[in-house]
Amino acid sequence: MRLSRRTGSATVHPTTPTATPRRQSPKITVGLGVALLALAGPTLVTPAVAAQQRVAAVPAGDYCGTTESFYGGGQYTYAAVQVCLRFGSGGNQVIVNNHNVQYYFGSSWYYATSGYPAKWNASGSVSIGGQSGNYATPNPVKQGSASGAASGGSPAALNACGTYNVTMTFHQNGPYWTGGDYDIDSGQRSYPIDVPC
């Protein structure tokens, strides 16, 4: 089917009818309707369907911020912490990884154990494109080994590809040194995390 526009005098206003309208044949009307639907198809997607398409477009996996090293008071405790955004079939969520958890005693560093665990928590926000939400790990996460992780939940803003701004405040008590003077307090940190389409 060939579509062409009507040519005419430039002096005729587009809203001024030039003749009495007449009824078009049903075949032409149906053909034009199908052509318009085909051209407008991508724009007729509802917002809910568009949101589902964005979610489906994010490849499953973990997308993480920079790993940061934190020491407690007096540098007797240590942890390497990283916040990640996890996308997958089980739902999108914030994950906080706590690696290399150690304490200093005598003249050596020792990893956390079940006898000398670290107790920690992390919280913050996730934002992208004007949407934001909060997350928090359990308080406390009890970690009796060098490495561990905890979920911070599934903020509603975690639903599309793009660059997220993720904040995190991390606090850890122990291992071994449990007096408050030895705690790790990161203060609020900010991380840009890119999630590809």
- When mean pLDDT is compared across 20-24, 86-90, 97-101, 162-166, the lowest value belongs to 20-24
Residue of higher predicted confidence among 171 and 19: 171
Report the pLDDT averaged over residues 43-70.
69
Q: Is the pLDDT of residue 59 over 90?
A: yes
Q: Which CA distances in Å does 71 have to 37, 148, 176, 181, 185?
A: 62, 17, 14, 12, 8
- Is the pLDDT at 44 greater than 80? The verdict is no
Query: SS3 for 180?
Result: helix
Residue 18 has pLDDT above 80, yes or no: no
Instruction: Render pLDDT for 141-191 as a digit per residue (tens, 0 to 9).
Output: 999 999 999 999 999 999 999 999 999 999 999 999 999 999 999 999 999
Mean pLDDT value of segment 61-76: 97
Rounded CA separation 181/175 (Å): 13
Q: Could you tell me the pTM of the whole model?
A: 0.72
Percent pLDDT > 90 in the chain is: 69
Q: What are phi and psi of 3, to 5 degrees?
A: -105, 135
Nearest to 109 by CA among 97, 122, 98, 100: 100
